[in-house]
A = this chain, B = another copy of it.
Amino acid sequence: MLLQEQIKRIIYLEDKPREQALVELLDKFQFNRAVERISTTEARGRVTAVPIYAALSMPHFHASAMDGIAVHAETTYGAHEKNPKQLIEAIDFHYVDTGDPIPDEYNAVIMIEHVQERGNKTIEIIEPAAPWQHIRPVGEDVVSGEMLFSQGHTLRAVDLGALLAGGMTTVTVVKKPVVAIIPTGNELVEPTLHVKKGDIIDFNSTVFYSYIEQWGGTAFHKGIIKDNPELLKKAILEAVDMADIVIVNAGSSAGSEDYTVHMIAELGEVFTHGVATRPGKPVVLGKVKDTIVIGLPGYPVSAYLTLEWFVQPLICKYLGVQVPKRETLSVQLGRRIVSTMGSEDFIRMNIGYVNGRFIANPLNRGAGVTMSLVRADGLLVIPSQSLGFEQGTEVEVELYKPVEEIKKAILFSGSHDLSIDVLASFIKEDDIQNDVISSHTGSMSGIMAIKKGETHVAGVHLLDSETGEYNIPFIKKYLNQDNVVVVKFLQREQGWIVPKGNPKHIQSIEDIVRHNLLYVNRQRGAGTRLLFDFFLQTMNIQPDSIHGYNREMYTHLSIAAAVKGGSADTGLGVYSAAKALQLDFIPVAYESYDLIMKQAFYESEQGQILLRVMKSDSFRQKLESLGGYRFENIGEVIYETSG
């Protein structure tokens, strides 16, 4: 059975070009575009189904464009400064305000400012009126019979005004296409905080629902379907009768529980199984009883990208509108990016604006890392025939954010600490225009990012094993020519993160070695890794006598999570990370966590905001409540290099 599945996998999953798969899909999408008549007041964002003609003129009567008097122009001829003309109310003129109808017997308006009251219902004018002056003729704005909008127009707020002005209190729009979502999987549970081991929270359905509504469709889902062919069959057959498009998630790959492709083939037709993309490959495009059925991959990044590639164009085709395009931006790659031949690669990118250049770096490429999409400023698409790009290459990226927002963000690299998230939140509170974008690359990478001009601020805690001094020796060594300022930030406590109650009684490295405990380490270049290596060196312990020395994590929280999850007995990290996951913490040492920035940034408005916020009482109080920090001389410049 498993072997058959293996063969099936190998022969079945194609590498069809994405563009070709889309063209075929759109071609197979037959639908009867339904329309409905809705109240104009509620029509924003809806798409006109037919050309809309005005039923009324606006104005629908000749209206005064000024506050003043309505007159017959001929009555006023001859009026002059030296020969004022007197007019009598109700006989020669009528008072009108802006918007009032012009009485039938009149054909011009004189502004009130040009009228002299003479009492006794008499006024005086000193210049004549031209026929039709200061009158808004019928239809000045909208003319009855005029085509206001063609079909396929997405109505905006101002368009509703034009419709109502033209007497159209209802408007015929395209019905929203209905998309059914069928989440499948024995392990899936509805969103909850209370999960059991093995449960997978079905958050994909909510993301699908939300995208579909955003794109102009309407979505529903009737609960999670277990991995059972009969239940799946029933769900698909029900859905195709109710929806214009059906999504099955997941089971779209070729594993032993991946029924989607077989079921669509059994009930209808499969056009595509597998596209030449990374991520997103295991997608199924097919049709059951004239309704498109799409199997989306289970990994969130794959799922959301394939949804955008295939479901958005179907919705737009149904609505009769163009698929919106994202802005693009030319950026320089801060790192080399490799790609495999034969697949389009979709890389989520962070983009920063430093020294007048846009620098982009790839985020985690894992298809399971939702946060890589959440944190992305843009998307780099590498064509299938490319092997990738060297560092420094100029490439085009699709933007997920307005370029203005990217330009204003303060870029933070280097060692991760929870205090940076808190600082970011206070900086945003100080002025909503300020965003901090942080990438957790470790202290040494932070120094290199400053050197290469790829970041504004680097957070470092690097212990020099020769002198026992923090940070300055490294800055002298690597940034001596780079015109940087080192600002004192925090002293933070490092220690052993251990399960609640410290069941293995860890107090020192010797305990770890002696009991052959499972350790979880930080990545090379991380300050915490250096600290651990310093301990090993001082005590003359060989790294390979530490079980798990080579298992590397990129953040303090990941270390804590590994301990919490039981895959490690301990790891070195900061107090706040242990506290966040309700773990115990055995203090080892305070270390200096300082900030490096280029002189120019330090002096900039943004740099000064950063300084002001880090020295504020509210920031300090917040960190004190987290625990594990000292604040001696925070915000002081402790070292400078010249350029």
Q: Which residues of A pack against B, CB within 8 Å?
A: 2-3, 6, 40-41, 44, 51, 53, 55-62, 65, 67, 95, 97-101, 104, 107, 112-113, 117, 131-132, 136-148, 150-152, 157-165, 167-169, 185, 187, 191-193, 195, 197-201, 203-204, 206-207, 209-211, 213-214, 253, 255-257, 298, 300, 304, 320-322, 324-325, 327, 366, 368-371, 373-374, 402, 404-405, 418, 421-422, 424-425, 428-429, 432-433, 548, 551, 555, 557-558, 560-562, 564-567, 577, 580-581
A424 to B51 alpha-carbon distance, docked (Å)? 10
The 9 closest A-B pairs by CB, nearest first: A145-B580, A139-B561, A138-B565, A164-B203, A157-B210, A147-B421, A143-B557, A161-B207, A150-B425
Question: Contact check: which of B167, B191, B253, B557 meets A41 at CB < 8 Å?
Answer: B191
Question: Contact check: which of B6, B101, B206 meets A112 at CB < 8 Å?
Answer: B6
Query: Contact between A167 and B151 (Cβ–Cβ < 8 Å)?
Result: no
A138's closest neighbor in chain B, by CB? B565
Task: Note all chain B residues with C-beta closer than 8 A to A567.
Answer: 62, 107, 132, 137-138
**Given that A40-B206, A198-B61 are known contacts, is A51 also in contact with B192, CB under 8 Å in the complex?**
no
Query: Contact between A324 and B402 (Cβ–Cβ < 8 Å)?
Result: yes
Query: Contact between B41 and A209 (Cβ–Cβ < 8 Å)?
Result: yes
A198 to B191 alpha-carbon distance, docked (Å)? 57
Task: Note all chain B residues with C-beta closer than 8 A to A55.
Answer: 193
**Given that A56-B193, A151-B428 are known contacts, is A298 also in contact with B98, CB under 8 Å in the complex?**
yes
Number of copies: 2
Question: Contact check: which of B162, B192, B193 meets A370 at CB < 8 Å?
Answer: B162
Query: Contact between A197 and B61 (Cβ–Cβ < 8 Å)?
Result: yes
Query: Contact between B159 and A374 (Cβ–Cβ < 8 Å)?
Result: yes
A572 to B112 alpha-carbon distance, docked (Å)? 35
Task: Note all chain B residues with C-beta closer than 8 A to A58.
Answer: 201, 370
> Could you name 11 residue pairs across A and B whose Cβ atoms are closer than 8 Å?
A40-B191, A60-B195, A60-B199, A142-B371, A147-B421, A151-B429, A158-B304, A158-B374, A161-B206, A162-B370, A163-B203
Q: How far is the CB of A221 from chain B (nearest CB, A)?
A: 11
A372's closest neighbor in chain B, by CB? B141
Question: Contact check: which of B95, B138, B322 meets A562 at CB < 8 Å?
Answer: B138
Given contacts A157-B211, A165-B203, A325-B402, 5 further A-B contacts (CB under 8 A): A44-B214, A67-B256, A97-B256, A161-B206, A167-B201
A213 to B101 alpha-carbon distance, docked (Å)? 33
Query: Contact between B210 and A160 (Cβ–Cβ < 8 Å)?
Result: yes
A435's closest neighbor in chain B, by CB? B150
Q: How far is the CB of A40 from chain B (nearest CB, A)?
A: 7
A187's closest neighbor in chain B, by CB? B99
A47's closest neighbor in chain B, by CB? B432
A97 to B251 alpha-carbon distance, docked (Å)? 11
Q: How far is the CB of A136 from chain B (nearest CB, A)?
A: 6
A139's closest neighbor in chain B, by CB? B561
A67 to B327 alpha-carbon distance, docked (Å)? 38
